[in-house]
Chains A and B, each alone.
Chain A
Amino acid sequence: QQQVKQSPQSLIVQKGGISIINCAYENTAFDYFPWYQQFPGKGPALLIAIRPDVSEKKEGRFTISFNKSAKQFSLHIMDSQPGDSATYFCAASKGANNLFFGTGTRLTVIP
């Protein structure tokens, strides 16, 4: 059973556009929601993370929006660049427990 559901599976965006990746969860005890970015041939790397006491967190062109009542969170990439082309994973965890990852979204940014 997938603890964190991620969509879309793949996404193609024009350079300069906004990329949006969505995740949903059921376990209301989750209290940590990171996003990882993975380039081909590399392991995933932490991109940005949020805790449920805030509804939004922004780091440069990357923003996490968090909707606690809907049990959803999303990653927005503003002014998407070809260098952003990668696979993105959302994840969630409860307390000090291990992360549950989503299934991943392959983002392609077309020049």
Chain B
Amino acid sequence: DVKVTQSSRYLVKRTGEKVFLECVQDMDHENMFWYRQDPGLGLRLIYFSYDVKMKEKGDIPEGYSVSREKKERFSLILESASTNQTSMYLCASSGGTGPNEKLFFGSGTQLSVL
């Protein structure tokens, strides 16, 4: 089975801190994604990557950046955390030729920014 592992289940940070969320997948998938999940808003795409060192903005990239130095690892960076970035963050990966192939999600990181 594909496994997508997110480094932290819960994270509490202070406003202004730099925050790193890490994600690792073990199926050699080309495509990786970061979503945030908020009640009443569903899943919204922050950033995605089709290959190592490549990144593309999703629907809500403001305040975030990403890094993909290795194929299996995709990091989400909050340069200066703000309270409105308190959310559940979900990492996903997919193989195949198109990004809308079956997505495999991690269990999520619940980030609280105080």
Binary B-proximity of A82-96 (CB < 8 A = 1, otherwise 0): 000000010001011
- Roughly how many angstroms separate A16 CA and B41 CA in the complex, as a whole number? 30
A104:B42 contact, CB within 8 angstroms: yes
B106:A98 contact, CB within 8 angstroms: no
- Roughly how many angstroms separate A46 CA and B41 CA in the complex, as a whole number? 19
Chain B residues bordering chain A, tally (CB within 8 A): 24
B43:A44 contact, CB within 8 angstroms: yes
A101:B100 contact, CB within 8 angstroms: no
Q: Does A32 contact B (CB under 8 A)?
A: yes
B43:A89 contact, CB within 8 angstroms: yes
Binary A-proximity of B84-114 (CB < 8 A = 1, otherwise 0): 0000001010000111101111111000000
A103:B42 contact, CB within 8 angstroms: yes
Known: A95-B98, A98-B100, A99-B100. A44 touches B105 (CB 8 A): yes
B99:A43 contact, CB within 8 angstroms: no
Measured between C-beta atoms, what is the minimum distance from A68 to chain B in Å?
Answer: 18
A-B contact pairs, 12 of them (CB 8 A): A32-B100, A43-B108, A96-B100, A98-B48, A98-B99, A99-B45, A99-B100, A101-B35, A101-B43, A103-B40, A103-B41, A103-B42
Q: Known contacts A34-B100, A34-B102, A42-B105; can you find 19 more A-B pairs with CB under 8 A?
A: A6-B42, A32-B100, A36-B103, A42-B107, A43-B4, A43-B106, A43-B107, A43-B108, A44-B90, A44-B103, A45-B105, A46-B102, A46-B103, A89-B43, A96-B98, A96-B99, A96-B100, A98-B100, A99-B100
- A contacts, CB < 8 Å to B: 6, 9, 32, 34, 36, 41-46, 89, 93, 95-99, 101-104
- B contacts, CB < 8 Å to A: 4, 33, 35, 40-45, 48, 58, 90, 92, 97-100, 102-108
